[in-house]
Structure 1
C-alpha cells in the first residue's frame, strides 16, 4: 500500500538584522510532539506553496510575512508517510509573533540550530543553513547572481564592491543582485554602491521573471 504524500510549506523567518531565525516548538503528542521546527503547514488544494505559507504563518503566529524567497525543497520518507517540504526565507511585515498554534517560539542564532531537536526533514534544512552560514560557505561565490538574503546589512557594502570587482576581472558583462523588496533600504544601499563603482556601465530593476523590484540587473564595463 502506498504511503500518504504530504506537501508542506515552511518558513525560515529572519529578523531584520538577518542574524537570527524564528523556530517554533510543536505541541505534545503525535509523531513529532515537542520537537522544534520551522513554522508552516500543509498545502491545501488550489494553493501555491507561498500562498500556503502566508496563510499558515498568520494562523499560527498572528503575523504577515513578505519577501519570500525559495530556499530548499526536501523530500523525506517517514514510516507512516512521505513529505515534500518547501521552504522559503522571509521577513515579518510588522508586529511580533505569538505562539497561537504551537507550544512556544524562539529567536535563535543560526549557529544554535544544532542545539535543538528537529524532525528529520527539518534537520536537512538545519544542515543546509549551518553550511551556508559557516565562514567558508559565506565566501563570495563567483556567479552571475548575488543573493544578499543570507548576509547581514553591515556586510553588504564591502560584499557588493568585492563582488563587482571580481566579476569585472572575470569578464562578466551582466550580473543580477538580489536585495529583496522589504522597505527599500537595502536596495538604496546597493544602488549607491553601483553609482560610484568604476566597474558599472548601467543598472536597472530586474524584470518580473528575475525578481522584479526585489533585484537589480547590472551591466558591467568590459575589462
Structure 2
C-alpha cells in the first residue's frame, strides 16, 4: 500500500508520507496535506490461483483491475482507517503548535528586551533560545516519525483487508490476476469492463454486516 501525500520529515519520496505542519520558520518541515485520502493510493498486485499459462489454453487472459484509492475512499473500513490516522496526526500537530508558540514568545521577548539587557544577559538568553529551537526541531522530527509509523500500521492493516476481499471477488469471477489501477499502480489504460472496484466495495459492505 502506498501513499501519495502526507507523514514524515524526511520521507516524501516514492511512498509520499504525511508530514506535520510547522509555521513559517527557517529549517521547518514541509506542509502536510491533511486530506489523507491523497495519502493512501495503494499499490496492489494480486495473483489469484493458477497461472498465466493456464489461461492461455482458453484463448484469453482472465484479469481484473481494482482502483485502491476508490476502495479506500468509499468503504466504511477505509473511512475508519483514515479517520483514525487523521485524529492521530491532528493530536501531534497540536503538540507542535504549542511548542512553536512558546518558542516564538521567547524570541519576541528577547527582541523587546535586547536594548536593556547586558551583553552577558543577552548572550545567555540567545543561548537559551538556540537550545530551545534545537529541541523544537528534534521534537518535530520525533513526532513526524510517530506519524509515519502510525500511517504504516493503519494502511498496512487496511491493505490486508483489501487483499482478502479482492481475492474473494476474483475467485468468484474466475480471474487469475488482479492489478492495481491509478497513479501508484502499473496500468496505463484498461477497459472499464475490467474494473472490479465496485464489486470490491460492495463485498466490503456485505462483510461489514
Structure with higher RCO (Cα < 8 A, 6+ apart): 2
TM-score between the two structures when normalised by the length of structure 1: 0.26
TM-score between the two structures when normalised by the length of structure 2: 0.27
